[in-house]
Amino acid sequence: MKTEKNPQKTTLIYLLISVGIVVLLNAFIFPAFLRPQITEADYGTFLTQVEQGHVKSVEIREDEIGFTVKDEKGNDKLYVTGRLDDPELVDRLYQAKVEFSKVIPRENSPLVNLLLTWVLPFLVFIAIVQLLSGRLLKKLGGGAGPMKFGKSNAKIYVEAQTGKTFGDVAGQDEAKEALQEVVDFLHNPQKYREIGAKIPKGVLLVGPPGTGKTLLAKAVAGESKVPFFSISGSEFVEMFVGMGAARVRDLFKQATAKAPCIVFIDEIDTIGKSRNASGGGIGGNDEREQTLNQLLTEMDGFDADKGVVILAATNRPETLDKALLRPGRFDRRVPVELPDLAGREAILRVHARKVKMGEGIDFNAIARATPGASGADLANIVNEAALRAVKLGRSHVLQSDLEESVEVVIAGYQRKNAVISMKDKLTIAYHEVGHALVAAKQSHSAPVHKITIVPRTSGALGYTMQIDEGEQVLMTKEQAFDKISTYMGGRAAEELVFQTVTSGASNDIEQATKIARAMVTRFGMSEQFDMMALETVNNPYLGGDTSLLVSAVTSAKIDEEVLRIIKSAHERASRILEENKQKLHELAKYLFEKETISGEEFMAVLGA
């Protein structure tokens, strides 16, 4: 596949250079070449030449006098002198039999001056630059030539050159099953025509960032072995009005010519946002709306039986225009969700194929340690593990590399040179042990996997990692309350041991409040409000803001209920630590000395 160039950017640079050249030519070069060689002379020399009969002709202008003198070789030389108040000049010229005339000043039209001095040279240089830029881009391998207004920038992958198949996609079995129909149609369209079935013109891939929407589109093309057009929605929108619509027309024209094929539009929400959202008129984006209208028209204008299938991806489906989602357009929606436990393990194995792995790798443990991770996150974890193995001088990846890479992705790199006082280090040790001890003494908490007080680049001075034994799909009220109590364990340990509090619990407070508010407003886990919906999430795929659906009075009551839950959890954490005060001191001392302990070590000390 050839490297794609950007002809617009290259040509814009050439245009700017052309403008500079035109300015220089008008200011310095043209005047020097167009003006004949003229020698300045004083008025006395002029009169002497007239009296001696050497002057051939004279032109009298407003502020100067130009005259022609024949030299010894018979050649005409031009001279110019300043004009003085000389009433006898005409008589002298007449007596010397010199041809003379007075030039009547006449100004050219401003339009003519503009055309001759600016427009014409500029057009000439534009033509030259277009020719040169086309040749240059072809030499560079772009083959794009001069700027082609309205041309689509879609990358075209011929046949199976995407290099991806469904075997490269893991953790998205439902999405692959839904897209298998598209592959089957492109392979065997006749059996669909015989029964009268029509394949959807447009398929919308919807899911959070990093879940593999683009990979799925390439895999469909790879399985189908048909040309694959790939373009981002942002590439349609230009500063020139009508350019996006022209590019849409050109894209569909190319796709129809290469049918059967697949057209993939990534981030379609860039051009497909609801037209009601912009409000139209003032503040609206006419160029984006024209592009969207053209896309809708093109989708209505081609027949799906020709074998042109449009795939699009977005993580903001709620912003798309309803006209784009109606039957006959993007009427098939394929969810591409975050992978579950089995899916994460399968994804890790897919990415591990390209990396030399050591013996005894437990992908299931890594998958359990990364709930909520996307495919892109898991690929990054495997890559970080490979980088760590190289840094440590090994030729293969070990389990420890993968475990450390999980922490790197979650909390950042270790700050080994961070300077922390002994008092603060001891406080952090008690804080983290407080979390772990409260979690261990509750029946609905996940087991403790690791405790560390080594600072990380994310700003964390330490953390306690818990890993569930299996995949948790639902969360009970008891589990939610235990999570809040675990978050309160760090602050409760500080209060119990040091009789003061620090700023180290800021993230704990934030997370605990978020869970408590969700229990009240979204999960229906409050006796006061029962199952009443109190808020809504604007964008679930991006973890967007929540909007309250209640009055100010009810909002105040919600805050009171959230505070009650947090206070109850805080009291439970304090009670657990008070009952296990001796173990708290013992574990904090052990963690202070070792800095990092595993869940097995923690449970061994706790059970001793």
Active site residues: 432
Q: How far apart are CA 552 and CA 88, in angstroms?
A: 101
User: How far apart, in whole angstroms, are the C-alpha atoms of residue 448 and residue 436?
Assistant: 6
CB neighbours of residue 269 within 10 Å = 19
Measured CA to CA, the distance from residue 159 to residue 502 in angstroms comes to 62
Name 231's bridge partners. 265
Handedness of CA 419, 420, 422, 426 (dihedral sign): negative
DSSP string, 332-345: EEEE-PPP-HHHHH
Tokens read off for 419 = 């300077």
- Tokens representing 401? 């590399």
Q: Strands, DSSP E only, in 207-292? A: 228-232, 261-266
The C-alpha atoms of residue 280 and residue 290 are separated, in whole angstroms, by: 12
Q: Is the alpha carbon torsion for 547, 553, 554, 559 positive or negative?
A: positive
> Which residue pairs, CB below 8 angstroms and at least 24 apart, start in 44-49?
45/79, 45/81, 46/79, 46/81, 47/92
Distance CA 59, CA 103 (A): 7
Residue 218's nearest CA partner among 152, 161, 175, 153 is 161
Are 563 and 554 within 8 A, CB to CB? no
C-alpha closest to that of 86 among 26, 140, 44: 44
Instruction: Give the residue from 108, 105, 87, 224 showing the smallest Cα distance to 161.
Output: 224
Q: Are residues 51 and 89 in contact, defined by beta-carbon separation less than 8 angstroms?
A: no
d(CA 205, CA 192): 23
